[in-house]
Structure 1
Amino acid sequence: MSYGNQTQTLNVTTEQQYQGLLERVVFSSLIGMPCCLCLFINGTMLFTLRSKAVFRETCRYILLYNLLFADTIMLALSQLMYIMAVCRIFPTYPVCGVLAMLAGLANQISPLTLVVMCLERYVAVCYPLRHATIITVRNTAVAIIVVWAFSSLNVLIRVLLLVNFLFDQPQSLQMTDVCSGISVILGPMSDIYDKAYTGIVFLSAAVAVTCSYVGVMVAARSASTDKASAHKARNTVLLHLMQLGLTLLSTMHDPIIVSLSTILQRLIIVRIKSILYVFIYILPRCLSSLIYGLRDQTIRPVLMYYLCCRLSHLSKHI
């Protein structure tokens, strides 16, 4: 009787392990396909923006390239950490820290770049005669360098907090859980700093984008302003405000998971985390390429040409 119970328990355990493995394979496949598609579209868009001189020498396209570049890095690193989690690969804290910090750096570039893009549209509408002297390629490059430097400084501070925690409380460098942004927030100081920085940056960015939108709206009602240009700029700034909201939503991913983990089972948390990963991380990172690629009359024909050529090239090999 005891032997029969042990056999039945073993069969149940084996079946549960098989179902868990099958579920991981299905989830990783469903998530990997849209991620690869987004990386393909973003890569083609980045190649398009470097293919012609008009894109390389126009400030708003340079800013768009910087935004897409950061989003693509963020998407690639997030997918790498997701694959490591699915395969149950637990790296050391330094390795996870490097991956999480680089992903965080790329994620912080987006809202700051959106602010610069909104200011560029504001100057184009409100000060059209001075736009060519204010918004130059050199000034745009300086703005991008400042954005990367400011974000890198934040990452450096987080690294110092992480190293300080590991020295103050010696522990094994080998992780016992999956690598994520939550894993490298060790100690109350890291948590407080992360929340304070995120709140200040997004509040400042929201104020700057909103003020730009209001300025463009006021200029659109002026009789001396080009109505069509002002209307297009208003829609562009509104689009940037929506992108900022989506980026802010991605920063709330980890707090949501932490809150739900206290009331739900681990298996349910894993499923919710996978679904949120698709809608909060993957889709917003692909949205910029699709919107700008289809909306901009200069980019659209070039992007469609490269997309169609690459897709036809892939289909021939398949």
Structure 2
Amino acid sequence: MLYANQSQALNVTTKQQYQGLLERVVFSTLIGMPCCLCLFINGTMLFTLRSKAVFCETSRYILLYNLLFADTVMLGLSELLYIMAACRIFPTYPVCGVFIMLNKLTNEISPLTLVVMCMERYVAVCYPLRHATIITVRNTAVAIIVVWAFSSLNVLIRVLLLLNFLFDQPQSLQMTDVCSGTVMILGPMSNIYDKAYTGFVFVSAGVAVTCSYVGVMVAARSASTDKASAHKARNTLLLHMMQLGLTLLSTIHDPIVVSLSTILQRLLIVRIKHFSYVFIYILPRCLSSLIYGLRDQTIRPILMYYLCCRLSHLSKHI
């Protein structure tokens, strides 16, 4: 009787392990395919933005390149962390810290760059005569440097908090869980700083984009404003607001997961992470290419040319 119970328990355990492995394989395939597609499109878009001189000499295209570069690096790092989690690879805290800090750096570049892009559209509509003198290549480069410097300062503070934890507990370098942003919130100081910075970026970016949109709406009703240009800028800002909302959700994703982990089962939390990864991390990183690649009359023909040529080239080798 005892042997029968042990055999039944072993069969149940084996079945659960098989189902868990099958679920990881299915989710990894379903998530990996759109991620690779987005990386391919973003990579082609980055190549397109360096293929013509007009893209290198126009401020909004320079900002778009910076946004796409950060999104592409962030998407690649996120996919690497996802593969490590699916394969149950547990690195040490320093190794995980490097991946997470680079991921956070590129993740926080996106909302700040979107704010600068919205302000550029605001100046283009509300101050068209001064746009060429305000939005220059030099000023754009300065804005990009400020964005990277501000994000790097945030990462530096996080690194100092991480080093403080490592020096306090040198025996706990080996991780016992998957490498993610939630497990890298070490100690109360790290948690408080993460919430404070996330709230600051969320509120500041939201206010800046909303004010830009309101300014464009007011200018669109003015008789001296180009109606077509204002209408296009308004639609672009609406898309940027949606994109910014999805991007900012990724900044509050970790605190939400931490809160849910206290009331939900681990398996349910893992499934929530799978779906949130697609809609919060992958989808916003594809919107930039779609918004500009399909709507911009200067980029679209060149982008479609490179995409079609590469796809036809791949099909010849299949």
Q: Report the alpha carbon displacement of residue 80 of structure 1 after superposing the two structures with TM.
A: 0.5
Match of 2:43 in 1: 43
Matched to 1:317, the amino acid is H
Could you give the per-residue CA deviations for residues 173-220 of structure 1, whole angstroms, max 9, x where no partner exists? 110000001121101111111111111122111111111111111111
Q: Report the alpha carbon displacement of residue 5 of structure 1 after superposing the two structures with TM.
A: 2.4
Matched to 1:165, the amino acid is F
CA RMSD of aligned residues (A): 1.2
| Percent identity for Structure 1 against Structure 2 | 88
- In 1, Cα distance between equivalents of 2:181 and 2:245: 20
Q: Does 1:315 align with 2:315?
A: yes
Q: Does 1:219 align with 2:219?
A: yes
Q: Report the alpha carbon displacement of residue 6 of structure 1 after superposing the two structures with TM.
A: 2.2
1:1-318 matched pairs, under 5 angstroms? 1-318=1-318
Q: Secondary structure at the match of 2:88?
A: coil
Q: Secondary structure at the match of 2:180?
A: coil
Greater shift in the superposed pair: 179-188 or 165-174 = 165-174
Matched to 1:225, the amino acid is T
Q: Secondary structure at the match of 2:128?
A: coil
- In 1, Cα distance between equivalents of 2:99 and 2:292: 29
Q: Report the alpha carbon displacement of residue 162 of structure 1 after superposing the two structures with TM.
A: 0.9
Q: Report the alpha carbon displacement of residue 169 of structure 1 after superposing the two structures with TM.
A: 3.5
Equivalent residues, number: 318
Could you give the per-residue CA deviations for residues 206-248 of structure 1, whole angstroms, max 9, x where no partner exists? 1111111111111111111111111111221222222111111
Matched to 1:222, the amino acid is S
Matched to 2:289, the amino acid is S
Q: Report the alpha carbon displacement of residue 62 of structure 1 after superposing the two structures with TM.
A: 0.5
Residues 181 and 254, structure 2, Cα contact 8 Å, conserved in 1: yes
- In 1, Cα distance between equivalents of 2:215 and 2:6: 73
Normalising by structure 2, we get a TM-score of 0.97
Q: Report the alpha carbon displacement of residue 275 of structure 1 after superposing the two structures with TM.
A: 1.0
> Which sections of structure 1, spanning at least 5 residues, go unmatched?
none
Q: Secondary structure at the match of 2:51?
A: coil
- In 2, Cα distance between equivalents of 1:12 and 1:196: 46
- In 1, Cα distance between equivalents of 2:212 and 2:271: 39
- In 2, Cα distance between equivalents of 1:292 and 1:107: 20
Residues 239 and 291, structure 2, Cα contact 8 Å, conserved in 1: no
Q: Secondary structure at the match of 1:224?
A: coil
Matched to 2:196, the amino acid is A
Residues 198 and 252, structure 2, Cα contact 8 Å, conserved in 1: no
- In 2, Cα distance between equivalents of 1:226 and 1:245: 28
Q: Report the alpha carbon displacement of residue 287 of structure 1 after superposing the two structures with TM.
A: 1.4
Greater shift in the superposed pair: 163-172 or 298-307 = 163-172
> Which sections of structure 2, spanning at least 5 residues, go unmatched?
none
Matched to 1:23, the amino acid is E
Matched to 1:19, the amino acid is Q
Q: Secondary structure at the match of 1:171?
A: helix
- In 2, Cα distance between equivalents of 1:109 and 1:257: 22
- In 2, Cα distance between equivalents of 1:262 and 1:193: 21
Q: Secondary structure at the match of 1:6?
A: helix
Residues 70 and 106, structure 2, Cα contact 8 Å, conserved in 1: yes
Q: Report the alpha carbon displacement of residue 317 of structure 1 after superposing the two structures with TM.
A: 1.5
Could you give the per-residue CA deviations for residues 265-293 of structure 1, whole angstroms, max 9, x where no partner exists? 21221111111111111111111111211
